């Protein structure tokens, strides 16, 4: 049953229903409403989890690391500078193979100070060893959290669910938050294997000193396991769709004309705006489409290549930039498809610091990519 609810509250509700044992977070705009609601659940005795207050995001990440190391389900949330303050611990959580779930309410990074949405924060930590998922709307964000716990606990790889700050966190829209009974059918109680967690009756250490030979082998294993997780993610997406009757089993989703010559590629809430523009352009006789990248890590290179095989012009819209280079998603796609794609790929950076992205801008990009030289374009 759907109800009109704020995105942040919807996330807090579904996280509670996923039955974590320990939650720790530090408030930062625009993530704050999520942890405020979770703290209130705990205070009112409705949580079933321990909410641990922390003095910083670094501390919050350290707390869920410690809790996860004891073999219980854990959760945290943050944004922007808060995520970057967690960076050291994010690497450690992944290196220790702890299935922590984190919500990043995407927000611009200072300086100058800006509280509005872009995706620079999560893109900055893309190499920390986490599976990274991006939601288009609040329904998808809710569903991705249920999936995140199950994926993390099966792969023993932490999962970051990204939702655009304010655009989604503070927006009210109809959302179906499944009941705890429904979620239990998909997400069973968390059980860990002996030897994978700290136990006073069987003392051991996690994440200890490694020689160069050992360290490289461990990092190789983590990288290979992240790549291999694509199969499991697809399987769980199929199971989720079967049980709840919604969502797609694909890591990337194609929308628009099947034979489109111009295809936009993007992540997050901007995909909704692009879809509206695509509908209008196709009604006007243009053959266009949009490819939504739902899973950024592991990177769905083969899936992107397949979906773009018929395109002539590909406009990649990034809400982040590798300063001195181009949009980060654009760089990844160009590296992934190499010479296997005949289409011209061009990087367009949009929406930094929360600047509006309109249908007119999308339509203008469709014109620019046809005559562009492939160089980076800032669209204002």
User: With b meaning 16 or more CB within 10 Å and e meaning fewer, what string describes 159-182?
Assistant: bbbbbbbbbbbebeeebbbbeeee
Which of the 8 DSSP states describes residue 312? S
Q: Residue 104: what pLDDT?
A: 99
Is the pLDDT reported for residue 267 higher than 80? yes
Give pLDDT tens digits for 22-77: 999 999 999 999 999 999 999 999 989 999 999 999 999 999 999 999 999 999 99
3-class DSSP assignment, residue 372: coil
> Looking at residues 181-207, what average pLDDT do you find?
91
- Using one digit for the tens of pLDDT, what is the confidence trace for 74-121? 999 999 999 999 999 999 999 999 999 999 999 999 999 999 999 999
Give 210-265 pLDDT, tens digit per residue.
999 999 999 999 999 999 999 999 999 999 999 999 999 999 999 999 999 999 99
Distance (Å, whole) CA 280 – CA 288: 10
Question: Taking all residues of the chain, what is their mean pLDDT, rounded to a whole number?
Answer: 96
**Which whole-number Å values give the CA distances from 359 to 93, 172, 273, 379, in the listed order?**
40, 21, 6, 12
Per-residue pLDDT at 204 exceeds 90: no
Q: Across 79-214, where does the E strand assignment appear?
A: 101-106, 131-134, 159-164, 172-176
- Domains annotated on the chain, with CATH: 2-244 (3.40.50.970), 252-378 (3.40.50.920)
Return the bridge partners of 104, or none. 78, 162
- State the pLDDT at residue 294: 98
Per 3-state DSSP, what percentage of the chain is helix, strand, and coil (rounded to 5)? 45, 20, 40
CA neighbor of 250 nearest in space, from 310, 302, 294, 305:
294
Whether 304 contacts 335, CB under 8 Å: no
160 pLDDT higher than 80: yes
Give the per-residue pLDDT at 269: 98
Residue 338 pLDDT exceeds 80:
no
How far is 292 from 264, CA to CA, in rounded Å? 8
Query: Tokens at residue 89, please?
Result: 């611990």
Question: To 10 degrees, what angle do helices 212-244 and 87-95 make?
Answer: 90
CB 321 within 8 A of CB 331: no
Instruction: Give the predicted TM-score (pTM) of the model.
Output: 0.97
pLDDT recorded at residue 194: 83
How far apart, in whole angstroms, are the C-alpha atoms of residue 262 and residue 259?
Answer: 9
Whole-number pLDDT of residue 375: 86
* pLDDT confidence tier of residue 193, bands split at 50, 70 and 90: confident
pLDDT on residue 195: 81
Please name the helix (run of DSSP H) or strand (run of DSSP E) that holds residue 302, with its range, or none: helix 301-307
List the one residue out of 103, 9, 111, 15 whose CA is nearest residue 60: 103
Name the band, by pLDDT with cuts 50, 70 and 90, for residue 339: confident
Are 61 and 107 in contact by the 8 Å Cβ rule? The answer is no
Q: Name the residue with higher pLDDT: 372 or 297.
A: 297
CB-CB contact of 33 with 9 (8 Å):
yes
Residue matched to tokens 């879809």: 275
- Please tell me the predicted confidence (pLDDT) of residue 121: 98
> What pLDDT, on the 0 to 100 scale, is given for residue 1?
79
Model confidence at 8: pLDDT above 80: yes
26 preceded by a cis bond (ω within 30 of 0) = no
User: Phi and psi dihedrals of 314, rounded to 5?
Assistant: -120, 120
């Amino acid at each position: 049953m759907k109800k009109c609810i704020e995105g942040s509250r919807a996330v807090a509700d579904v996280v509670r229903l996923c039955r974590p044992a320990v939650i720790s977070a530090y408030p930062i705009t625009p993530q704050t409403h999520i942890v405020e609601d979770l703290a209130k659940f705990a205070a009112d005795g409705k949580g079933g989890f321990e909410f641990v207050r922390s003095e910083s995001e670094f501390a919050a990440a350290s707390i869920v690391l410690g809790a996860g190391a004891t073999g219980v389900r854990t959760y945290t949330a943050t944004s922007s500078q808060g995520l970057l303050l967690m960076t050291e611990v994010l690497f450690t959580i992944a290196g220790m193979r702890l299935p922590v779930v984190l919500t990043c309410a995407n927000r611009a990074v200072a300086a100058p100070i800006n509280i509005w949405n872009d995706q620079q924060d999560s893109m900055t930590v893309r190499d920390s060893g986490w599976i990274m998922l991006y939601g288009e709307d609040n329904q998808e964000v809710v569903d991705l959290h249920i999936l995140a716990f199950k994926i993390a606990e099966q792969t023993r790889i932490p999962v970051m669910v990204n939702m655009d700050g304010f655009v989604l966190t503070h927006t009210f829209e109809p959302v179906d938050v499944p009941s705890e009974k429904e979620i239990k059918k998909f997400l069973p109680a968390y059980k860990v294997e002996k030897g994978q967690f700290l136990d006073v009756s069987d003392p051991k250490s996690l994440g200890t000193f490694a020689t160069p030979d050992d360290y490289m082998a461990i990092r190789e294993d983590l990288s290979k396991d992240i790549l291999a997780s694509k199969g499991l993610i697809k399987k769980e997406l199929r199971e989720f769709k079967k049980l709840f009757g919604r969502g797609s089993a694909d890591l990337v989703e194609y929308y628009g004309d099947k034979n489109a010559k111009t295809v936009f590629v993007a992540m997050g809430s901007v995909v909704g705006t692009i879809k509206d523009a695509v509908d209008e352009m196709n009604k006007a006789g243009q053959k266009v489409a949009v490819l939504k990248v739902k899973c950024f890590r592991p990177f769905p290179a083969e899936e992107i290549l397949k979906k773009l095989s018929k395109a002539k012009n590909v406009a990649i819209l990034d809400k982040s930039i590798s300063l001195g280079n181009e949009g980060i998603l654009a760089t990844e796609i160009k590296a992934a498809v190499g010479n296997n794609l005949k289409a011209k790929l061009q990087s367009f950076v949009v929406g930094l610091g929360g600047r509006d992205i309109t249908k007119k801008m999308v339509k203008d990009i469709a014109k620019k990519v046809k005559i562009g030289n492939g160089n980076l374009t800032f669209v204002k």
